[in-house]
Amino acid sequence: MIEKTYLKTKPECKVKFALPAEQLAGAKQVFLVGDFNNWDESATPMRRQKTGVFASTINLEKDKQYQFRYLVDGTTWLNDDSADAYAQSPVSSEHNCVLHL
């Protein structure tokens, strides 16, 4: 799930990324990885909520598009069903999620 809140005082959008608990059975760690953090697999950890949902909120510059994926327990890559689009990954046969702001 992706929630976008456009800021009135800056050319930014506050974006909340969340993965439901049922999609992450037994996951210990989830990281948000994308071109906004240079695909650094440890730069943006997601926090487990009381409900079991993993979530992270970041501010991104608007009028741009970003590619991202989720990395679960350092081994499993997941996409977000609520992404705006999908694009072929330049490093694998997988697809990346695309976010339009």
Residue 101 has pLDDT above 90, yes or no: yes
pLDDT at position 91 is 83
Residue 71's contacts (CB-CB under 8 Å, 6 or more residues apart) are 30, 31, 33, 41, 77, 78
Residue 74, pLDDT score? 95
State residue 92's pLDDT score: 83
Q: Which CATH architecture has domain 2-100?
A: Sandwich (2.60)
- State residue 62 phi and psi, 5-degree precision: -85, 175
Task: Using alpha carbons, select from 49, 47, 44, 52 the residue that is nearest to residue 68.
Answer: 44
Task: Name the band, by pLDDT with cuts 50, 70 and 90, for residue 82.
Answer: very high
Average pLDDT of the chain?
A: 95
pTM for the complete prediction?
A: 0.94
Instruction: Say what the pLDDT of residue 14 is.
Output: 98
The structure tokens listed for 90 are: 């330049």
How is the chain split into domains, by residue range? 2-100
pLDDT tens digits for 14-60? 999 999 988 887 899 999 999 999 999 999 999 999 989 999 999 99
pLDDT of residue 21: 85
